[in-house]
Amino acid sequence: MKKLLSMVVLTTSVLFAHAQDNASQSLPNTVVKDVKNGKKLPFNKIVTPGRVTVVSFWATWCVPCKKEIKNISKALPSWKEKADFDYVTVSIDEARAEGIMNTYAVSQGWEFPYYLDANSDLKRSLNFQSVPFTLIVDKEGKITWRHIGYEEGGENEILAKLEELSPKK
């Protein structure tokens, strides 16, 4: 009986923790750097109020990150026909890699904003451990979807969520 009770308590704790992870979370005001113009600003200000935003966290050394962003970047024109949203990326590279990060973004033709979280302060604020890490922020500025890792085709899950949150009219 004691084992059964322990199992029930443990299961309930795990389910509760999982539910909390999936609950809407406000955006932290942790400062990031806009690499295009060199300005620092709070993360919660890079999201336009009333707009759904996809945020891809990545690093220059992360092959799956670059593949995910490349696939999303390629798909953006067709996605924009189906959903109304913004797309930004945040690198967790160290400050000394900013030049490499910027050169990579320019070479890939990124027209979307890209930011740097050089000290991993934002990464700690959002409580994730590895990249690629993707968020979707709803129109109220709440994190409504989180995903760690990338597998080819996984970007379709992002599109489905975008169509749900902000369908094109």
* pLDDT tens per residue, range 78-116: 999 999 999 999 999 999 999 999 999 999 999 999 999
- Other C-beta atoms within 10 Å of 154: how many? 17
Report whether 56 contacts 132 (CB < 8 A).
yes
- Other C-beta atoms within 10 Å of 67: how many? 17
pTM: 0.84
User: Considering its fold, how many domains does the chain have in total?
Assistant: 1
* Within-domain flag for 114: yes
Report whether 78 contacts 87 (CB < 8 A).
no
* Within-domain flag for 143: yes
- Domain hosting residue 41, numbered range: 25-165
Report whether 136 contacts 22 (CB < 8 A).
no
Consecutive H or E run containing 42: strand 40-42
CA distance linking residue 154 with residue 68, whole number of Å:
8
CA distance linking residue 121 with residue 32, whole number of Å:
9
Write the CATH number for 153. Answer: 3.40.30.10
* pLDDT at residue 66 in the model: 97
* Within-domain flag for 72: yes
End-to-end CA distance of the chain: 57
DSSP category for residue 112: S
Average pLDDT of the residues in 8-12: 40
Task: Give the rounded distance of the alpha carbon of 93 from its chain centre.
Answer: 15
* Within-domain flag for 17: no
* Within-domain flag for 95: yes
* pLDDT at residue 167 in the model: 86
* pLDDT at residue 25 in the model: 84
The token pair that represents 59 in the structure block: 């690093």
Coil/strand/helix, residue 126? helix
CA distance linking residue 43 with residue 97, whole number of Å:
20
DSSP category for residue 15: H
* Within-domain flag for 152: yes
The token pair that represents 3 in the structure block: 């084992």
